[in-house]
Structure formats: structure tokens, C-alpha cells
Amino acid sequence: MEATDSAGHSAQDTAESARTAAAGATQPAGAGDQFDFMVVSNRLPVDRCSAEEPGCEDGWRRSPGGLVTALAPMMTKTDGAWVGWHGAPDETVQPFSHGGIDLIPVQLSTDDIELFYEGFSNATLWPLYHDVIAPPEFHRTWWDSYRNVNRRFADAVIRHAAEGATVWVQDYQLQLVPKMLREARPDLKIGFFNHIPFPPPEIFAQLPWRRAIIDGLLGADLVGFQRSSDAGNFMRSARRFLGASVKQQQVHVKGADGQTTHIARAQAFPISIDVKQISELAKKSASH
């Protein structure tokens, strides 16, 4: 499975056009390594495993799931680095490589998991973004943890991103990271992709920290969504809650002096399957 935009271009094609000279890391990722292309998500694309399990390599194996399946082939092609939590709380893991991808772990505590992940991400944002399928909960301590953890992810990118690098931030757990990156590293090219729906302003208005979320996302040069309606909802919220100037698919982001600092584009990029790969797998299965 790989990401494709509405014109049928794959995530691999997009990455190749954006990165004409990716960093070719052949050794395990080190604390001082820098990269021209980086993906940032809540989880790294690997899970712990035991030696007897199929696909286990040095205690790790590639994680299942749509995001990893979509992005892993692109990452191995570009020799980029992936920033994320390695899956165990209260544990420090140094940068390492697995399956041709350099991995940069972000450490999370047990409290972080409870407040940032289970709390704000999954008990506040998830139901809110899914048209309030369950009543979202709003707690200041959850929000404070969300901000602190987003800062930790941003700091990891800031340390490891090469000059002018492209950084692709993934999903609703990290919506503050784009602005944090822009403020610290204006040389970066920043993308964000939201893998779940984005609610209409009438629902998004329930969130006490709605302005900060929109402001965080607008730190990106490109904000991607699964559906055109989600991109439209985001642009309507930017106009309503921040007073942003929106023209077509472009949001003109203004600084404290009222001058436009940059333009963020919001657009739908539906994720699809890799038809060629699935067809080849089907033919192999039929031949056995």
C-alpha cells in the first residue's frame, strides 16, 4: 500500500521529486547524524520481537498498519530518517537502523502515554474529529502534556534535520510540530498529513485550544488530508478562528506585524493501494 494523490502519483514519486539528493546513510543512525528527508509520526515503524518470530531482525520487526505500509518503501528509497516513539515507556533507546531505514526514537514516560496519547490524542481529538461519535473530554493537564510531547518530537527533528531538509509530519497526535519547526528552523520544507477526518468549524469550535491547533498546522507549507471535504473544513476553520486569508487552496499566514510570513496550501491526497504490487502478489498466490 502506498500513498497516492488525486492525480495518481505515489508517495514514492512525490518524495523523489522533492528529494533530488537524499542523504545516503549506510551505517546505523547516530546521535549526530543529519538527514535531508525525515518522517515524523507518533510511533516508529518497528515493534519489538523475539528471535524465533518471522521477520525479526536484531530484536525488531516492521510494524503492520497502513501508515508504515504506505511510507516504508518510500523511506528505503530515499534513505531518510523516521522520528517516533519506539513503543516502551520510561526507556531510552539510541538511534538505530532497521530494514534500510534510520530510526530516531523519542522517549515517552508512562505519564506521557496516559495524558498525551490516551488522553488528549484519543479521548479529546479522536472523537471530536470523528463528528463527536463519543463525547470528547477536555482537560488542561492533557493539553499541557500534548504541547510538551509535541515539543519533544520537534526538538528531535531540529537536531537531526540537515539544512533545507524536507520534513513530513504525520497525523493528529503531532499537530503543533509544524509551527515549532518553522519557528526554530525556517530553512526546512515542512509537510503535514492528517490521516483521520478534520471536523467542520461548527464541531471544531468545541475545542478550547482550537486556535493553537490551527496555528500549529499552518506552520507547514503543505497540509494534506484524505478527502477534499476535510481540506475545506480546515480552511474554513483557519478563516473563522484565526481570521486567515484563504484563496483557493492557499492560506496566507500572517505574523504579529500583520504581514504575510508564508503561504500554507491545504489539499486532499487520498491514500490508495499499490495496484502493481497487489497484482503481483495475487499472481504468485494463484500459481502455488
Note the pLDDT of residue 31.
59
Is residue 14 included in any domain, yes or no? no
Domain hosting 75: range is 27-287
Note the pLDDT of residue 283.
84
Going by the DSSP 8-state scheme, the letter that residue 240 receives in this structure is H
Note the pLDDT of residue 227.
95
Going residue by residue through the chain (288 aa), what tens digit of pLDDT does each one get? Answer: 344 443 344 444 434 333 332 333 334 555 568 999 999 999 999 988 888 888 788 888 888 777 777 777 778 777 689 999 999 999 999 999 988 889 999 999 999 999 999 999 999 999 999 999 899 999 999 999 999 999 999 999 999 999 999 999 999 999 999 999 999 999 999 999 999 999 999 999 999 999 999 999 999 999 999 999 999 999 999 999 999 999 989 999 888 788 888 899 999 998 766 677 778 888 887 766
Is residue 191 included in any domain, yes or no? yes
Is residue 176 included in any domain, yes or no? yes
Is residue 19 included in any domain, yes or no? no
Is residue 123 included in any domain, yes or no? yes
Is residue 192 included in any domain, yes or no? yes
The pTM of the full predicted model, rounded to 2 decimals, is 0.83
- What count of Cα atoms within 13 Å lies in the side-chain half-sphere of residue 121? 22
- The CA distances from residue 255 to 15, 45, 216, 283, 288, in Å, are 30, 36, 13, 55, 62
Across 195-259, the runs of DSSP E, i.e. the strands, are 222-225, 245-247, 250-254
* Residue from 146, 175, 169 nearest 238 by CA: 175
Is residue 18 included in any domain, yes or no? no
Structural domains counted in the chain? 1
Is residue 269 included in any domain, yes or no? yes
CATH number of the domain enclosing 161: 3.40.50.2000
